[in-house]
Chain A
Amino acid sequence: MKGVFLVMSTVLTGLGIFSFGLISEAQAHVFPVHSEPKVGQVVNTSPFLVRIWFDGKLEPAFSTIEVHDLKGARVDKGDGRVGPEDRTLLKISLPSLPSGIYRVFWSVVSQDGHLTEGDFSFTIRVSQ
């Protein structure tokens, strides 16, 4: 019986290793790794950019980013873009913003067509 389990374990381990071998050139859903400002962060000065780094390369034509205030008004400069020096980076410029809570909406498509989207907030609390 132990022999049977040994054989099966060996075969399955081999399949697992084979599957990992497929991974190097594969693409998949992409998710954020980190951002500036950070998700939920309180910052003391208005940032010039919102940047989000993802765990895979993005398709520039189908990846978008917007920043809104609490009333839903769009406050960014409208120049959201991928990279171009880094295809995992999605960024957008901001004007000087007053204190408040802002929400970043992003929608990205990985190079193989998988769509992911999300949003997060950050707070500007300008020192007087």
Chain B
Amino acid sequence: MAMIAADNRGLRLVTRYAVLVLIAIIFVFPLVFMLMSSLKPDQQLLQDSGNLRAFLPVGDISLQNYTDAFQRAPVATFVFNSVLVTGITVALSLLLCSAAGFAFVFVRWKGRDTLLALLLATLILPFETIAIPLLMMVAHLPWVGFDGVSWGWLNSYRVQIIPFIADGLTVFLFVQYFKDLPGELIEAARVEGASWWQIYRRIVMPLSGPIFATAAILKFLVMYNQYLWPLMVTQEEGYRPVMVGLQYFFQLNVAWGEVMAYLSMITVPVLAFYLYLQKAFIASIASTGVKG
């Protein structure tokens, strides 16, 4: 009897893992296909996609596609633009949205509750519904530079950065988190004569590592993966980010090997970053679900 029961349990365990592995294969196969294809010449790539060799580094393997991709498009420029725009936006977003969250939770001021309600209302505005009027707006906005006033923000870094620094969700995440911090601590610090800046810098920031990580990861994913907006506002390649840069690989003859090499180059760093900080990534997505 005991033997059979043990066997049953063993079998159940094997089935469970088999199911888990099968589903895992469904989720990774396109990514493995991408990586393997990026190493193969076009002709072999298309032949291999008919069988399991598509997922194996076999045949005529080289980094030729990567070299060719750099020749076909200014890959380095696209990567630089994406890193610059994403980096600046994330940094400014953390600074301004956390400051706003701080003011909404710890400071009492006129108009606070009304403005917080207004901010929350913006959560139901999908970006897609404001993209077109925003395009019209930025096409006519003034900018003061070193060479005087110019009109129109199209083809610039600022048009990709400034509209995305502050958003309702990020402020809201900070507000939610700060609400759970001990308010007496801040009150006591005020009584002791600490300035607001000291409280923010010395008390609130050291306690808020997780929420800064969450906000940074969410903003990073949104910014790095931007497609619709830069597609509309950057016609010059000098300002285009990686996702829009993909278009260069679809002019005239599509060389799939190069496409795969480019996709690998722009995806693998993000995946590596994700696998490294996996827990924080998943926690940040889960925290967006806490609203509602």
Q: Does A pair with B?
A: no
Could you tell me which A residues sit within 8 Å of B by CB distance? none
